[in-house]
Amino acid sequence: MISKKMEKMVANNSAIRAMFEEGNKMAKEFGRENVYDFSLGNPNVAAPAAVKDAIRELLDNEDPVVLHGYTNSNAGYEEVRETVAKSLNKRFDTAFTANNITMTVGAAGGLNVILKALLNPGDEVIVFAPYFVEYRSYVSNFDGVVVEISPNTVDFQPKLDEFETKITANTKAVIVNNPNNPTGVVYSEETIKQMAAIMDKKQKEFGTDIYLISDEPYRELAYDGVEVPYLTKYYDNTIVGYSYSKSLSLPGERIGYLVVPDEVTDSETLIGAVNIANRILGFVNAPTLQQKVVAKCINEKTDISFYDRNRETLYDGLKALGFECTKPQGAFYLFVKSPVADEKQFVAAAKKYHILIVPGSSFACPGYVRIAYCVSHETIVNSLPAFAKLADEYK
Amino acid sequence: MISKKMEKMVANNSAIRAMFEEGNKMAKEFGRENVYDFSLGNPNVAAPAAVKDAIRELLDNEDPVVLHGYTNSNAGYEEVRETVAKSLNKRFDTAFTANNITMTVGAAGGLNVILKALLNPGDEVIVFAPYFVEYRSYVSNFDGVVVEISPNTVDFQPKLDEFETKITANTKAVIVNNPNNPTGVVYSEETIKQMAAIMDKKQKEFGTDIYLISDEPYRELAYDGVEVPYLTKYYDNTIVGYSYSKSLSLPGERIGYLVVPDEVTDSETLIGAVNIANRILGFVNAPTLQQKVVAKCINEKTDISFYDRNRETLYDGLKALGFECTKPQGAFYLFVKSPVADEKQFVAAAKKYHILIVPGSSFACPGYVRIAYCVSHETIVNSLPAFAKLADEYK
């Protein structure tokens, strides 16, 4: 009955659902506090108090017909977009205006919108393994073809030599996720400069436009003072997708934006297409109350010291137990080498100690596992003895 | 640069944008109060006070990590879906559970989700002219083919004889919009029974499943005590798409739901596909705060007496001036026969009197115009002398 495209996805989904249900079953059997569920990237830091204040203030002072109404443009409220543009300009020395910003239903909505605007069937979209597996679905929505660059397991920076060989005349876009899910690695400025140079060269070689789509839900989660390069400054055909899911802990509210800079080829047409895609995909406009909330909270930050503490404790703890992993500089994930080649075995073994983690195969990087440390610090601390038992199995 | 599909849409959109900008220009030149803008279906009744109270209460009493967090299921909060199901059961004597309900980003989001779940490229989707033109875009998103049933301009009930001849082995879905945009007509129970009988017959004839998708953003806007039939009771393969945009005046907040009843063929698989489609199209889940708001406001109603008064004044006023129109029983649109065959001429003539209306061609029904009366009563009253001058041109 359902579409052929969906049939495969329903089958795949059953596995994830099974894992989720198993976690719930374990929590019921052993108590939630005795299950170390590191499987989901759902922030557990509360939204800053300013969010609550902003909502109250909006309810008190705004005309509800405007506050909850359709926005004049599908791009969102003009003043919200201007606030976002000005904030970016101040932080990154860019020169955006409201016209360059489209408010979206989170970053997932934004990515679908830009891919809808850009892709013809058969267009190639390059991704660097390991990558967020939903990219495959987003590209498939518009009949694009995902081209994978194999993982560089030395430091998880993208493999640029392989990248260069895989760009073709059909390459329409390249997606980067920085800081990265699932590795927590931040692509360095050096990496980005080299990537931009390759793409510039290939654009000239093929006489095409190749769009660099920067998916940045984790931008604000960077530790040790590391700089996350702002990609529009390195490459003209860059589009940025942002979300407030992690930076303001509002994942369920579905609020983010796309940036299409003037430097993008034929930017006015693309901006027009983005706004229409926002409408016809059924988003229509980003949720209006939350648009105004994020504008009011534009200088607010989530408490990253919370994640940072988890990061240090978990990383140090696992290293001490002999696990191999790259210390993450951003996001809230640790990517750990499985002691056995088939990491699904390792994931299964971890379950015996009530540890729930995600196999790297889910991110096109077998032999590794992802641990999402956006959990309570207590969970981290209490999980370490369980990890110790798990480590013993492989000694 | 942009995709071929979008190129055509960008071109079409320019016309709508031009109209919108012309309206703004006229408002600037002549004063907003001297421009009678009947072009948009944007409710101008404020959300009920209960919405504000519900938001305040949620902010005071709910854990923000849950209130603004991803929902466990992409279908939305279990308790919200249960509240919706129970409310429908009470009103329509149905037997839904939370499992039959998926909270969506408005009805537009819901329609995209169900079409994504159902359509293979080339599948036919039947619509009855005049119809909401966005259906074409939604179907095109998934490479479906729109099959139009020509308008019945006698009473704007669907032409069921033509419908029967146009159902083929490739017909996957039929979309009805009841009460109807742009006519304001309510499809009667008799119509629905006949439609269901035809579809049942054709399903047997072709050995296929043909889904009836009922798009119901205007369900609560029905006047004179008219009953709007609840379609799941007449035909098993019915899916309902609902939105709170009009019923609670929350169009910008993007909150609605889909109903997939157990009676639908292989309903569990379809419900699974719907939830995955919700995720991979980038909606992920309907905005969480608003999910809880609509659950709290499940028994609230928008003030339809406001629209009703506009309806009476406008209908009586235009009839007295000699215009031909079917009295609407629902929604907030009046569909008026153009005094000249080319209604775009009529639309242009109306502009001279600062009246902005939409040509019926935009709804696949040339020779008519749509007047959206979701404006202030003052605008209606003040527009009548302008309509009188317009009428004089055609005497």
- Write the pLDDT tens digit of every residue in B91-138: 999 999 999 999 999 999 999 999 999 999 999 999 999 999 999 999
Cα A65 to Cα B51: distance, rounded to the nearest angstrom: 12
CB atoms within 10 A of CB B4: 9
Residue A61 has pLDDT above 70, yes or no: yes
CB contact under 8 A, A272 and B10: yes
C-alpha dist (Å) from residue A287 to A214, B279, B281: 22, 17, 16
Which two three-digit tokens encode residue B155? 């009473």
DSSP E strands in A216-365: the ranges are 238-243, 256-259, 333-337, 355-356, 358-359
CB contact set of A351 (below 8 Å; sequence gap of 6+)? A22, A26
Q: Which of A57, A71, A280 to mutate to test the interface with B (most CBs of B within 10 A)?
A: A280
Which pLDDT belongs to residue A78? 96
Which pLDDT belongs to residue B265? 97
Q: With bands split at pLDDT 50, 70 and 90, how would you rate the model's confidence at B35?
A: very high
Residue A3 with chain B: CB contacts under 8 Å: 116-120, 142, 273
Q: With bands split at pLDDT 50, 70 and 90, how would you rate the model's confidence at B44?
A: confident
Residue A287 with chain B: CB contacts under 8 Å: 252-254, 287, 290
Cα B71 to Cα B73: distance, rounded to the nearest angstrom: 5
Helix, strand and coil content of chain B, in percent to the nearest 5, comes to 50, 15, 40
Residues B339 and B394: beta-carbon distance below 8 Å: yes
Q: Looking at the DSSP assignment, which residues form a beta bridge with residue A258? A: A102, A241
Q: Which of A242, A250, A254 to mutate to test the interface with B (most CBs of B within 10 A)?
A: A254
Residue B145 has pLDDT above 90, yes or no: yes
CATH 3.90.1150.10 given to domain A4-48+302-392: yes
Nearest to B56 among A40, A43, A59 (CB): A59
Residues B191 and B157: beta-carbon distance below 8 Å: yes
Residue B296 has pLDDT above 90, yes or no: yes
Q: Kindly state the percentage of chain B with pLDDT values over 90.
A: 91
Pick the CATH number of B4-47+302-393 from 3.90.1150.10, 1.20.1250.20, 3.40.50.1860, 3.20.20.80: 3.90.1150.10
Helix, strand and coil content of chain A, in percent to the nearest 5, comes to 50, 15, 40
Cα B393 to Cα B395: distance, rounded to the nearest angstrom: 6
CB contact under 8 A, A280 and B254: no
C-alpha dist (Å) from residue A83 to A174, A263, A299: 28, 20, 10
Of B341, B330, B329, B331, the closest CA to residue B369 belongs to B341
Of A191, A185, A175, the closest CA to residue A136 belongs to A175
CB contact under 8 A, B250 and A68: yes
Mean pLDDT of chain A: 95
Question: Given CA atoms A221, A288, A118, A134 in this order, what sign does their dihedral have?
Answer: positive
Q: Looking at the DSSP assignment, which residues form a beta bridge with residue B173? A: B125, B211
What is the domain partition of chain A in residue ranges?
A: 4-48+302-392, 49-296
φ/ψ (deg, to 5) at B322 = 95, 5
Which pLDDT belongs to residue A16? 67
Residue B9 with chain A: CB contacts under 8 Å: 273, 276, 280
CB contact under 8 A, A120 and B4: yes
Mean pLDDT of chain B: 95
Which pLDDT belongs to residue B15? 67
Which two three-digit tokens encode residue B114? 């169900």
The string of pLDDT tens digits covering residues B271-295 is: 999 999 999 999 999 999 999 999 9
Residue B65 with chain A: CB contacts under 8 Å: 43-46, 249
The string of pLDDT tens digits covering residues B227-282 is: 999 999 999 999 999 999 999 999 999 999 999 999 999 999 999 999 999 999 99
Which pLDDT belongs to residue B222? 97
Number of residues in chain B: 395
Residue A118 with chain B: CB contacts under 8 Å: 1-3
DSSP E strands in A200-250: the ranges are 211-215, 238-243
φ/ψ (deg, to 5) at A257 = -155, 160
CB contact set of B259 (below 8 Å; sequence gap of 6+)? B88, B96, B100, B101, B232, B239, B240, B242
DSSP E strands in chain B: the ranges are 36-37, 101-104, 124-128, 145-149, 171-177, 211-215, 238-243, 256-259, 333-337, 355-356, 358-359, 368-372
φ/ψ (deg, to 5) at A213 = -105, 115
Cα A260 to Cα A300: distance, rounded to the nearest angstrom: 24
Please tell me what DSSP assigns to residue A37.
E
Pick the CATH number of B49-296 from 3.40.640.10, 1.20.120.430, 3.40.190.10, 3.90.1150.10: 3.40.640.10
